[in-house]
Chain A
């Protein structure tokens, strides 16, 4: 999932302040914590209240979309609603507003969220942890399934570093575990310290460069679907 954090309400309000009618669109995709219809409605109420406090009348409509990052789904779901509105406020990760701005050329879409990282809820206590940094050269097979790129504060491939103290990381005040100690413990458990001791050369950072483009090989594309279109 893409872990997101709602922007400060003042920042959101300042973005939509020039408009009096906005469409607020939730996303039912992988964005976490959930930002669906309820969250869109709540945000609308907050902005309406804030507008009133500023002597302004803000009209809004809250809807949601299965996946804002899918241009076909987003297009068919949102298009019927946009005609009466001056701007769109997206509650998806950054991919949502980027996609909506691309497919709806005549209206501006603003982001209500900050995208934080790719991760998962691991403890059931509102805590989310980063698991993947999209490095394009997955190391999980040699690190016991723990990603040093995403979980080591320095993204080291040959850790731990000197900032590890009793299994904790210097970044964050020794509160979080050192990824490389976790990797060591996991590989030791499976008697695979051979993987730990092995030197790992640097990764190819071209795989992480922006803008990312990936064209699927012809043999993997769904030709039937393309023909139908």
Chain B
């Protein structure tokens, strides 16, 4: 990690050498945060999840801004948020304004993202902004954190903001697309990221190779995993999420589990959980044992019941 202090619980735990887990919350077209807060509550109860990512309009859809849910998760639940911010919808002025607002609200982690293009979302006719790209946004955050200024060097009244920020990487990149992915991450490391959270990985060998490549950078990496709550979610993920493909046998097993337990909710849950645990338990254990990954970003959105069976053996983080 850079010389920058660890301001967040997440970065502090990584600095202490703990193998960390982060979860994920996805505010959608909602007027009520109770489900998000319930999910956060369930994550907190496990004591294994140190922070929860709060997504910012994934797939380019118009959802609730991630700022307020991030704040509410910290304020109402007491679980640290990793506030996801894309550069798709805001220019540098709006990004700056939101970051200082988030800093005042006590947010300690930002995950910088480019953001899926509006052409993929539910407002396809909209203008995507991309005034800054995600690397330039990282540079802007570095100025705010290390120098206490905005992008143009104007001083921030009250000093420097105390936030750690990360970037994302795609662990599924294979040659010849692996090198540009690794070099791209290098630019972000150069402009000051504190941590990396990757897109979800299903192929252990590909993921391990990717982590090995990232070892050249002095930045901790949390590998993304995505437990599959249902066959429908797995299918959607496989079909629509850029760069992610769910193994065919896993898809088949989930489909069969749902078919075999039609009408039996309890039986279906048990069968689906068993498949996920059989796949992800050895996966996570091997990552922890054989790589330098600092932890796992577990994107089990609204699938909290899997956390304890999957992560119960790991040390408490909170």
Distance (Å) between the CB of A180 and the closest chain B CB? Answer: 7
Given contacts A162-B243, A197-B187, contact A157 B117 (CB under 8 A): no
Q: Of A153, A180, A184, A205, which contacts B131 at CB under 8 A?
A: A205
Listed by A's residue number, 13 A-B pairs whose Cβ atoms lie within 8 Å are A153-B119, A154-B117, A154-B128, A156-B133, A157-B133, A163-B117, A166-B177, A171-B117, A184-B183, A193-B183, A198-B187, A201-B139, A205-B131
Nearest 4 pairs of A and B residues by beta carbon:
A158-B135, A161-B114, A184-B180, A156-B133
CA distance A155 to B170 in the complex (A): 20
Q: Is B177 within 8 A of A167, CB to CB? A: yes
In the complex, what residues of B have CB within 8 A of residue A170's CB? 116-117, 120, 242
B179 contacts A by Cβ under 8 Å: yes
A196 contacts B by Cβ under 8 Å: yes
User: How many of B's residues come within 8 Å of A, CB to CB?
Assistant: 34
**Which chain B residue shows the least CB distance to A199?**
B187
Interface residues of A in 196-226 (CB under 8 A from B): 196-199, 201-202, 205
Q: Is B117 within 8 A of A162, CB to CB? A: no
Question: What 0/1 pattern do residues 122 to 140 of B give for CB contact below 8 A with A?
Answer: 0000001011111110010
CA distance A180 to B187 in the complex (A): 14
B66 contacts A by Cβ under 8 Å: no
B191 contacts A by Cβ under 8 Å: yes
B41 contacts A by Cβ under 8 Å: no
Given contacts A170-B116, A171-B117, contact A158 B190 (CB under 8 A): no
In the complex, what residues of A have CB within 8 A of residue B134's CB? 158, 161
Q: Is B242 within 8 A of A197, CB to CB? A: no
- Secondary structure at chain A's binding surface: helix, strand, loop or mixed? loop
In the complex, what residues of A have CB within 8 A of residue B190's CB? 199
**Which chain B residue shows the least CB distance to A165?**
B243
Q: Of B120, B130, B179, B242, which contacts A165 at CB under 8 A?
A: B242
Q: Is B117 within 8 A of A202, CB to CB? A: no
Q: Of A171, A193, A201, which contacts B136 at CB under 8 A?
A: A201
A171-B117, A172-B119, A202-B131 are known; give 13 further A-B pairs, CB within 8 A: A153-B117, A154-B114, A154-B133, A156-B114, A156-B130, A157-B135, A158-B135, A158-B136, A158-B187, A162-B114, A193-B183, A196-B183, A202-B136
Distance (Å) between the CB of A100 and the closest chain B CB? Answer: 29
Distance (Å) between the CB of B318 and the closest chain A CB? Answer: 29
**Which chain B residue shows the least CB distance to A193?**
B183
In the complex, what residues of B have CB within 8 A of residue A184's CB? 179-180, 183
Q: Is B130 within 8 A of A154, CB to CB? A: yes
Q: Is B177 within 8 A of A199, CB to CB? A: no
Interface residues of A in 142-172 (CB under 8 A from B): 153-167, 170-172
Q: Is B243 within 8 A of A158, CB to CB? A: no
**Which chain B residue shows the least CB distance to A185?**
B176
CA distance A203 to B190 in the complex (A): 19
Given contacts A158-B133, A199-B190, contact A180 B180 (CB under 8 A): yes
